[in-house]
Amino acid sequence: MAASPRRRFGWLRSATTLAAAVGIATVGLTVPAGAATPNPMAHPERDWMGSTIAAHEGQRVTITPKLAPGGLPGLDVSHWQGTINWTTVKNQGAKFAYIKATEGTTYRDPNFSANYTDAYYAGLVRGAYHFAQPASSSGAAQADYFAAHGGAWSKDNQTLPGMLDIEYNPNGSTCYGISQAAMRTWITAFLNEYHAKTTRWATIYTTTDWWTTCTGNTSAYAGNDPLDIARYSSSVGTLPAGWGFYTFWQWADGGTFPGDQDVFNGSAARLLALANNTP
């Protein structure tokens, strides 16, 4: 995602079963001494879905709308987009949106309420996302904060399951200074707690490179959690282990809609089914 200030003012297994699949416990994460960066949340106002990708993968490519992949078009935004006219976005063809709600356990996006409410009234199916900070607090604590500050879910035809945005560390070492096993523990705790709070399994947003590097390319979550893959290219490329298909694809960092350009891999009926947690 280009970092221009103008653009960026902006599916039940039990916890025990999931932990066994991963080979880890579901207790809260203890970060090894000295592993965290001095300030793990140095600038949450500058963190959004894909904000770290260009620096690590060289993916900063705005693709023209005519090259958009097949699927239902959508977008993801944060406060960096400033005030958004969601009726215009809807009229331009957007069917869904993911909107930044929280980061860590202290930061709430200042434009979240306006974006979330206005997108709803414009008729988009929308969901909230949480920018993960695994070095600052446990996965369970961050899931609690997210669920209480925008990430809750209701079966109302327009609310997607919350999304865990887990990508490169914007403030230091790629994997936040913690091991692959510890990262899996953190993710498991977040997903289990979010499910306990909302009855939904969160969508996971990531890149294949980060997932392989920082989780050991675990396939433990593919059975429950829809995948939102970030890849700014004309093809989606290799997916993380376990996922035979993506549910969402963030395919460009700019285009027709404000923020990032996304597609849903299915029909309007399937998007509604995902929103309402129905077959």
Residues labelled as active-site residues: 76, 165, 167
| CA gap 115, 120 in Å, rounded | 8
Pick from 224, 273, 231: nearest CA to 248: 231
| CA gap 110, 190 in Å, rounded | 23
Beta strands in 191-279, from DSSP E residues, in sequence order: 203-206, 227-230, 248-252, 260-264
Q: What does the block give as tokens for 235?
A: 């093809």
Beta strand pairing call for 260-264 and 72-77: antiparallel
**Would you give the DSSP letter of residue 128?**
E
Using the structure block, give the residue that is written with the tokens 């936040």: 176
| CA gap 275, 279 in Å, rounded | 11
Q: How many CB atoms lie within 10 A of CB 64?
A: 9
Using the structure block, give the residue that is written with the tokens 């203890």: 30
Q: What does the block give as tokens for 144?
A: 């609690």
CB-CB contact of 249 with 69 (8 Å): yes
Residue 247 CB burial class (10 angstroms; 0-12, 13-18, ≥19): buried
| CA gap 172, 258 in Å, rounded | 28
